[in-house]
């Protein structure tokens, strides 16, 4: 069956979606439950309805667009990604996997394909951790990695709880207990995504098929020291919270660099101090730390080193520390049969492909816990992501979408 992909159409939808942003172009910012996030959801829902897909939304806002197969009792083949975006992002992260999947479904419909298994597009709630400090909120709940009781405790930086947000945004939404998928709900899951790294572009390879997804741990660390007048408090008397935090930011770097694994990476991405006045000693520092690896043992060893450093710094500087481990997830291994199927599908349509590791996390990290999963990576310019200048060419997106469509056809036949 000849499947044709209209990459111009995907690009035009990507451009339209990018205009729905909390910031001015080219910056895309769409934080969970912001006006832009809600508008973007409406935009995607409308496109799914135009395609005659049946829409469902669960109690945490995951959206499911369903193309019923001839044998609807069989577990569906699923694909999808996210449309939320971190502050100061670009227009491709997540979006390619949603709008590309829509075009894959359109292409299959145009070709006359009639699926035996149903095909379902999933748009996950909050892959990005911006509002609640925890990534993959929707897919964590779908797969049971985050219990409803834990989710209800989540609070954003303004002190507003997830339950308050849900009551406001989804007043009709049901009980969070209903979000978790039953076993064997899906037969397979594919996520199309930009690589967010430079390898495919450098090696001039069309498609990366993901075999392993690195595991993140996220820490929130607060130091409480003692403030005071920057002129009057003598140096031996200081308990400066910023300096305690600075020591930990450096310890994060060392723990990652000195790890036995080249895949260990550590970032202190948030560092806020109070009161934030030039002539006042900082009395409070809040750090958020992201630590990742494809191997759990080396990631957790680095985490342990950071804990030891926190303890040492509190003693040496006479400050208090509160360390919360927000998440500490295991890495995922993708399904070997799906990886092979994806490599073969690429070759069949004349594309070059290689296996690779995902160093970023994705909803697939959690979907892999519930059904056979893999990801399809396409090259992006200079490997740049999480920046407004993120870019993937329409050709690259079209190629990835074609492989996705082939796989949906194969797995749903």
Q: Are strands 63-67 and 119-124 parallel, antiparallel or unpaired?
A: antiparallel
Residue (58 or 127) nearer to ligand GLV, CB: 127
Binds 84, which of Mn ion, ligand GLV, none (CB < 5 to 8 A, cut-off by type)? none
Residue sitting closest to ligand GLV (CB):
360
Q: Which residue has the tokens 């409070």?
A: 284
**Please, which residues have CB within 8 angstroms of residue 123's CB and are 6 or more apart in sequence?**
41, 44, 62, 63, 65, 80, 81, 82, 83, 98
**Alpha-carbon gap, residue 304 to 341, rounded angstroms:** 39
Binds 214, which of ligand GLV, Mn ion, none (CB < 5 to 8 A, cut-off by type)? none
77 beta partners: 119, 188
Closest C-alpha among 69, 16, 11 to residue 42 = 16
Binds 361, which of ligand GLV, Mn ion, none (CB < 5 to 8 A, cut-off by type)? ligand GLV
Residue (283 or 361) nearer to ligand GLV, CB: 361
Nearest approach in angstroms of CB 303 to ligand GLV is 17
Binds 103, which of ligand GLV, Mn ion, none (CB < 5 to 8 A, cut-off by type)? none
**Alpha-carbon gap, residue 312 to 368, rounded angstroms:** 38
Binds 409, which of ligand GLV, Mn ion, none (CB < 5 to 8 A, cut-off by type)? none
- Using CB under 6 A as the binding rule, the residues of this chain from 94 to 133 that contact ligand GLV are 128
Residue (127 or 409) nearer to Mn ion, CB: 127
Residue 400 · residue 66 · CB < 8 Å: no
398 is a site residue for Mn ion (CB under 5 A): no
Nearest approach in angstroms of CB 357 to ligand GLV is 13
Query: How many residues sit close enough to ligand GLV to count as binding (CB under 6 A)?
Result: 4
Closest C-alpha among 356, 379, 361 to residue 198 = 379
Nearest approach in angstroms of CB 216 to ligand GLV is 7
Residue (186 or 361) nearer to ligand GLV, CB: 361
Binds 378, which of Mn ion, ligand GLV, none (CB < 5 to 8 A, cut-off by type)? none
Contact letters for ligand GLV, residues 356-385 (x by CB under 6 A): ----xx------------------------
Residue 374 · residue 342 · CB < 8 Å: yes
Nearest approach in angstroms of CB 196 to Mn ion is 7
Nearest approach in angstroms of CB 92 to ligand GLV is 12
Residue (107 or 129) nearer to ligand GLV, CB: 129
Nearest approach in angstroms of CB 237 to ligand GLV is 40
Nearest approach in angstroms of CB 224 to ligand GLV is 28
**Alpha-carbon gap, residue 172 to 165, rounded angstroms:** 12
Nearest approach in angstroms of CB 126 to ligand GLV is 11
Nearest approach in angstroms of CB 344 to Mn ion is 25
- Using CB under 5 A as the binding rule, the residues of this chain from 51 to 110 that contact Mn ion are 93-94
Residue (47 or 91) nearer to Mn ion, CB: 91
Cis upstream peptide for 275 (omega within 30°): yes
Here the tokens at position 116 are: 């035996």
Contact letters for ligand GLV, residues 267-296 (x by CB under 6 A): ------------------------------
**Residues in touch with Mn ion (CB under 5 A):** 93-94
**Residues in touch with ligand GLV (CB under 6 A):** 128, 135, 360-361
């Amino acid at each position: 069956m000849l499947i044709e992909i209209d990459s111009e159409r995907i690009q035009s939808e990507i451009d339209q979606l990018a205009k729905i942003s909390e910031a001015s172009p080219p910056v895309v910012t769409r934080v969970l439950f912001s006006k832009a996030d809600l508008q973007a959801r409406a935009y995607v829902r409308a496109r799914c309805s135009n395609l005659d897909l049946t829409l469902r939304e669960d109690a945490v806002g995951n959206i499911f667009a369903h193309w019923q197969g001839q044998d609807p009792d069989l577990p569906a083949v699923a694909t999808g990604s996210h449309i939320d975006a971190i502050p100061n992002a670009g227009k491709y992260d997540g979006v390619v996997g949603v709008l590309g999947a829509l075009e894959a479904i359109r292409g299959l419909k145009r070709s006359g394909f009639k699926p035996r298994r149903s095909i379902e597009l999933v748009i996950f709630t909050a892959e990005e951790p911006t509002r609640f400090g925890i990534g993959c909120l929707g897919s964590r709940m779908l797969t049971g990695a985050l219990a409803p009781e834990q989710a209800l405790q989540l609070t954003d930086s303004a002190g507003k709880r997830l339950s308050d947000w849900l009551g406001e945004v989804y007043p009709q939404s049901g009980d969070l207990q209903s979000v978790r998928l039953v076993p064997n709900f899906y037969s397979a899951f594919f996520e199309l995504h930009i690589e967010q790294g430079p390898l495919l572009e450098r090696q001039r390879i069309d498609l990366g098929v993901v075999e392993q997804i690195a595991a993140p741990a996220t820490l929130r660390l607060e130091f409480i020291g003692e403030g005071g007048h920057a002129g009057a408090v003598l140096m031996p008397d200081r308990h400066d919270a910023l300096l305690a935090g600075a020591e930990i930011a450096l310890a994060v770097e060392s723990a990652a660099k000195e790890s036995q694994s080249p895949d260990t990476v550590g970032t202190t991405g948030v560092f806020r101090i109070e009161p934030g006045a030039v002539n006042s000693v900082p009395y409070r520092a809040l750090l958020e730390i992201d630590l990742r690896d494809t191997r759990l043992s080396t990631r957790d060893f680095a985490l342990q080193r950071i804990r030891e450093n926190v303890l040492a710094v509190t003693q040496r500087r006479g400050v208090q520390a509160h360390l919360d481990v927000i998440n500490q997830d295991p890495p995922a291994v993708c399904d070997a049969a799906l990886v092979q199927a994806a490599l073969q599908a690429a070759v069949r349509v004349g594309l070059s492909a290689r296996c690779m590791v995902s160093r970023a996390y994705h909803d697939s990290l959690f979907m892999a816990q519930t059904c056979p999963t893999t990801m399809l990576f396409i090259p992006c310019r200079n490997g740049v992501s999480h920046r407004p200048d993120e870019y993937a060419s329409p050709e690259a997106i079209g190629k990835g979408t074609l492989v996705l469509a082939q796989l949906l056809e194969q797995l749903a036949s």
